[in-house]
Amino acid sequence: MADTDNYEFSSDSEVKFKDLEAKFPERSSLVLWALHLVQDDVGFVPHSAVDYVAKRVGVSSSWVAGVVSFYSMYYDHPVGKYNLNICYNAACWMHGSDDLEGCVTEKLGIGPGETTKDGKFTFTRQAECLAACGNAPAIQVNHDYHENMTADKMASLIDELSKK
């Protein structure tokens, strides 16, 4: 694993970044992509990566830090292999997001903001809408959406992910 105190792209991410540089003449557009590469490398965006990405892209560190804090897809702290991000906004709350949260706590013994001891699951309460209200309640697990969720579906999903 990369050194999170002195982050630099992995060799794989370096190749991808160079490829992206050729595709984006407006360098500030590279910030989002570069942050995805960071997360692919170490699972979150450490402080040192904020400065590193700023330097590589040619924008200020405060710009990059603002992007990390604005988008819920970026984590500024370590998360588990699977981040169970449960939408808690109005539509999902009205359609049973509480039941999903109860399932996670019951099956994994963790509450919002916590990670299982084995580092496999993090339970995140998504305060803002995941933009899947038409199929509420919705959750996001890493890059994948799961909609029309129920406690039973959540339990099955956790069982399935536990085996991976």
Contact set with ligand FES (CB under 6 A) = 87, 89-92, 129-133, 136, 138
**Quick check: 79 and 120 in contact, CB under 8 A?**
no
**Is the CB of 63 or the CB of 93 nearer to ligand FES?**
93
How far from chain centre, in Å, is Cα 90? 21
Tell me the closest approach of the beta carbon of residue 87 to ligand FES, in angstroms.
3
**Quick check: 15 and 42 in contact, CB under 8 A?**
no
Tell me the closest approach of the beta carbon of residue 40 to ligand FES, in angstroms.
25
**Is the CB of 45 or the CB of 138 nearer to ligand FES?**
138
- The contacts of residue 35 (CB under 8 Å, 6+ apart) are 45, 49, 53, 64, 67, 68, 74
Amino acid making up residue 162? S
Tell me the closest approach of the beta carbon of residue 139 to ligand FES, in angstroms.
9
Amino acid making up residue 118? D
**Is the CB of 133 or the CB of 155 nearer to ligand FES?**
133
**Is the CB of 13 or the CB of 140 nearer to ligand FES?**
140
Name the β-bridge partners of 86.
125, 139
Tell me the closest approach of the beta carbon of residue 157 to ligand FES, in angstroms.
17
